[in-house]
Amino acid sequence: MRRPSNGFGLVLVLVGTLLLMNNLGYIRLHWGQVWPAFPLVFGLSLFLQFLHDWDRGILVPATLFSGAGIFFYYLVNSPTGFNWGALAEWWPIFPLLLGVGFILGYLADPRDTGFLIPAAIFVLFGGLSLAGKVDGFRFYAKYWPLLLILFGLVMILTNIFLGKRGKG
């Protein structure tokens, strides 16, 4: 059985220390401001695990959890305060984070291109959905399905031409 890395143990020590200091009155933590640290810290511990094991599959959830923690921290500390209704507008952050995680997986070993297709799909979908929220991009947001059509045609044509080359 594989031994766990020290990264997660270090995270537990830090979180436990902060909570103990809060309970003893040395610092004041408010749950409404602290909870985004949990997905952030979990994601960062996954990045530490990646540095220990070099398992590229860890990079996708590491990016998703870290990014979600940062995003939630921003929402909690925004001038208007945390509002779950804001997720109805900002949900594209999550597929975008998945795409970035797949890009990191590809960058960890560029010889393996298996991470590029989900990276492209998630980054395009999340990025274009977010761009649709910006006034200047709303016109172009109508036409983002053209990118899917082009990507599909490239895949079909590549398979056709590679298939003909393999038969000859």
pLDDT, tens digit (0-9, with 9 covering 90-100), for 89-132: 888 899 999 999 999 998 888 888 888 889 988 988 888 788 76
The model's pTM is 0.67
Question: 150 in a domain, yes or no?
Answer: no
Domain membership of residue 126 (yes or no) is yes
In a domain, 77, yes or no: yes
Query: Does residue 68 lie in a domain region?
Result: yes
Give residue 115's domain range: 6-133
In a domain, 164, yes or no: no
What span, in angstroms and rounded, lies between the C-alpha atoms of 94 and 100?
10
pLDDT digits (tens, 9 = 90+) for 6-40: 666 777 787 788 888 888 988 887 777 778 888 99
Question: Residue 38's closest CA among 71, 69, 79?
Answer: 69
Count of domains forming the chain = 1
Q: Which two tokens stand for residue 136?
A: 């200047």
Q: Is residue 143 part of a domain?
A: no
